[in-house]
Structure 1
């Protein structure tokens, strides 16, 4: 991309961002939020409090939760797999497994078919 094309592209983006900024300046909801923040910060300054102090007053557990989460994030745990028991009616052999990656189970499925072996499941 040529320098001129890059300049024009950035110029268009700047104009677009300025238009968005102007529309936000006229948003009454944003004006209320700005006014609230200004008054809140003035009030905090008047009484010598910080935002952390206010959070600790309103929610004393917030500091403990955030520091505990930062130290050790909670990992989502999967449900433990159920034990499956298969009994071969031809040989009487039992296979207990939590997954389908059992060597003997794979042999049976290759020899007799998956549907047949699944019918051998006892629980």
Structure 2
């Protein structure tokens, strides 16, 4: 099979090569900028006695906002994903993971049934959870006493 417009394809490839060479030059300039930035940080550290940690701490709020802004991007950078997985591991290790809501009541447990307060003559019925007045009795008279009032 013979290609009729081979000269056109060669020109297209040359244009693509020129575009890639321009990208490579731009990338080299950025790397040079990163190196200059590192040198500037080292100079500030030496001249003013500022450590990297102090520098980053002084920019902490800006760094937090930068990380938050990365979460809104459709394609998140690797740095964001690395930070996300790191903090998930730290939170899991420290036991600070968000706790699921418990369906169980946190107050003292009483058996299901009716309870009569001998001081007031009032009767309350417990079905699932302690009624508010029953909890008040427990805090006022004590759990053992209220348990003894079961009918």
TM-score, normalised with respect to structure 1: 0.31
**TM-score for both structures, normalised by structure 2:** 0.26
